Structure 1
Amino acid sequence: MHNLASVEEFQLVSKKEKVIFFFNADWCGDCVFIKPEIPGIVKAHPEITFIKVDRDEFIELCEELSIVGIPSFLAYENGEEIGRFVSKNRKTKEEIEAFIQTL
């Protein structure tokens, strides 16, 4: 999984392909909880680009996108938001897979 490098990269990537942005932070217990499951989720969906977004590094982007809690997932395709799994609650692998199936 690639780490987001800039807001410009977010804008560019979200317009070109099917992508899921994974918003997280190193200090977040719920992010640490789900982190071991992420590589398997990414591998199971080669048709989707996954990009990790450090909430602390991109706090203004998170505010702009109404990311109210982490970990959270925001999906785009061809410049349009096609889904979001955003909440303050802990996420499970099964919930993330269910979210991806709705896209």
Structure 2
Amino acid sequence: MKEWMNVLENEEQFYELTQENKTTVFVFSAEWCPDCVYIKPFLPELIEKYSQFIFVYVDRDAYIDLCIDHEIMGIPSFVVYKQGKEIGRFVSKLRKTKEQIDDFLSSMLEK
């Protein structure tokens, strides 16, 4: 999954990216997560479709404190920031379909 998007390198970078003028989608995930593996085949298509967004892979295991601070209790989860404000989140422990993720990202176009 991380081969198609930027990979978070440190917590400082996370907070810098939240300030971007451009919409930034943080994708919280882990290599061992079956639901994350499930979205892997169709995620590149969605990343291409929403190329106006910056997509950033956040390894849940490497950034567990960041996940706790942002109440990321299940993965994969999507948290969206623009100009220092969280404008949307699709966070749950349930498996996410392509249509659900597409609908969520589409709703972020209007914000």
What is the TM-score with the length of structure 2 in the denominator? 0.91
- Percent identity among equivalent residues? 46
In 2: Cα distance, 1:3 partner to 1:37 partner: 18
Superposition RMSD in Å: 0.6
Structure 1: runs of 5 or more not aligned: none
In the alignment, structure 1 residue 7 sits paired with structure 2 residue 23: no
- For residue 50 of structure 1, report the CA deviation from its aligned partner: 0.3
In 1, distance between residues paired with 2:68 and 2:42?
26
- Alignment gaps of 5+ in structure 2: none
Cα shift at 1:89: 0.2
| Correspondence 1:86 to 2:111 | no
CA deviations 1:1-52 (Å, max 9, x no partner) are 0110010000001101210000000110000000111111110011100000
Spell out structure 1 runs of 4+ moving beyond 6 A.
none
Count of paired positions: 103
Provide the C-alpha distance between the structure 1 equivalents of 2:105 and 2:50, rounded to a whole number of angstroms: 9
- Residues 46-72 of structure 1, C-alpha deviations (whole Å, 9 max, x = no match): 110000000000000000000010000
